A and B are shown apart, each in its own frame.
Chain A
Amino acid sequence: MSETDLIDLVHPTLDTQWWWDALSRGELQVPACKSCRSRFFPPQAFCPECGSADVYGAPTSGCGNVYSWVVIHRAFSPALADQVPYAIVATDMEEGGRLIGRYLGDLHALRDALLVRVRIAQRSGIPVLGFEPAG
């Protein structure tokens, strides 16, 4: 499977298109609920916390703390073979919500609660959610 094939799996839906549109403009929005004020991911039609349909894209400072991470030493898709080792981080955003993205920093700096900020990268014409150390 080539990188292009993997990107072919990106088919925004009626529930997610707005998030991709914002990301393409260089803007990260975090799905949020007007009713219970929770933030969540991925974007979906109803708030998974309270079931409300009053869901919108909230702005964010883009900063958060690393909750967990993995370092991938063996790529599962041949398309990613030349990118290893690379890391994936789960980031708890300072306004709430946990996002998962590509880590764009020194792998040795990775640690629990590392302060990171969002950086949107590009791969094969698709915006990619990334995080880099903010310190």
Chain B
Amino acid sequence: MGKRPSFLGRTAITGVGYTPLSRNSGMSVHEMAVTACRAALNDCGISAQDVDGVVTYSLLNDSIYGQAVAAGLGGPELKYSVDLSLGGQAPCAAVMMAAMAVDAGLARNVLVFRALNGRSGKRIGSTAYESMTSEFRYPIGFDAYPQYIAIWARRFMIETGFTARDLGHLVSIQREYAALNERAVQRKLLTVDDYLETPYIVDPFRKADCTIEVDGACALLVTSVEEARSHKQPAAVIQGGAWTTPKGSGLDHADLFRWPDWSKNCHYYLRDRLWESAGMSPKDIDFAEIYDCFSAVVPMTMEGIGICPVGGAGEFITSGETKLDGSLPVNTHGGLLCEGYLHGMNTVTEAVMQIQGRSGARQVRKHDRCLVTSAAMMDGSALVLTRDGV
């Protein structure tokens, strides 16, 4: 057993902030980033001059240099700044980097944000780009994220018996949550039968299995637990965290060629370290916010990270366990499938607000401990957050 990373249990997330999510923001990415960060600062009740660190991530140059937020906030001096060239793997890892900086004494209040005009600007899911594997993907017509995840989903379904109808249940349940979330861009209920009648985009995925690209930004603030107690919002304590780039990860974000088992994603590989770091097991958590760029990532992650046994996610979901009144509510904002694709940063902010007990109509009853994940494929990260004092 390894030594527990020192920042765990000693750092926390307090404020969160969002811009509206839309299909055409009419705002620059810089304006959105600063707007979301200001909202997060107002939420915790600290001033822009209290900020001394920024962590952000982007893909394909679709966002701003993170330090540009400091300029937009009127120039607090930053003592820590990180720009990650990563996608959905990043949000939990970015929070960990902020927390490590706080715990090491490099900074006191670190903003973590994601901002993008993901709909009106660069659309990551389908933008062609050059990378170390593009020369092998594009000529055969294997050219977009829905395809890369769908080819994993197929193998997951073969190996575990997870069915198209099970996917329908998952989507339908997330729509029920979205109906309770004023921020979600897709709030229409969808029955399983209606889901099954919609056409495929990339078989086994239909449109409702895919996230909705949006323009928007969201941000959160990381500080020490001690400092957090002087903020306006209760502390969501960072109790567990892990990152993995397992053997078989490839040359770039889309290099799935060498991944040995497409029925498992990175969460299978980080789970032991994650739970050990938190001093917990999957049965200890009250709810989970699971990165869902595409629907099948949810059961794959649930089985991989140990919430369900292999082959058990279908029954767990169809029996209602992940609903608001179930034993383990999952993706309470409707997920990225319904709220919109802020690249998983909004998966973390949803977890924070649930832990803080301020999610209104979709508030889970017991909100002491939760799991948050980032990533669908090879590399990724995850966190365990807890209510202060539990």
Contact = CB atoms under 8 A, between A and B. Distances in A.
A6 B262 contact: no
A7 B140 contact: no
A60 interface: no
Contact of A67 (B125, B135, B155, B251): B155
A6 B203 contact: no
B158 interface: yes
B151 interface: yes
B257 A100 contact: yes
Interface string B138-152: 111111101100111
Chain B, interface size: which category? 35 or more
A76 B126 contact: yes
A48 B258 CA distance: 9
Contact of B141 (A1, A83, A98, A112): A83
B199 A7 contact: no
Contacts of B146: 76
Nearest to A69: B154
A76 B248 CA distance: 27
A72 B262 contact: no
B68 interface: no
A20 B299 CA distance: 38
A77 B128 contact: yes
A12 interface: yes
B197 interface: no
Interface in A70-91: 70-77, 80, 83, 85-86, 88, 90
B133 interface: yes
A24 interface: no
B133 to A, nearest CB: 6
Contact of A128 (B130, B140, B199, B200): B140
A25 interface: no
A7 B202 contact: no
A62 interface: no
22 contacts: A1-B128, A6-B139, A6-B143, A9-B128, A9-B138, A10-B138, A11-B135, A40-B258, A44-B251, A48-B250, A70-B154, A73-B199, A76-B125, A76-B126, A76-B146, A80-B143, A86-B141, A90-B262, A99-B257, A102-B140, A112-B158, A129-B140
Given A9-B138, A68-B152, A88-B147, 18 more contacts: A1-B128, A9-B129, A11-B130, A41-B257, A42-B136, A67-B262, A70-B151, A71-B200, A72-B203, A73-B200, A73-B201, A75-B141, A77-B126, A77-B141, A98-B257, A100-B136, A101-B140, A112-B158
Interface of B: 125-126, 128-130, 132-144, 146-147, 150-152, 154-155, 158, 199-204, 248, 250-251, 255, 257-258, 262
> What are the 4 tightest A-B residue pairs by CB atom distance, in nearest-first order?
A76-B144, A71-B203, A68-B155, A76-B126
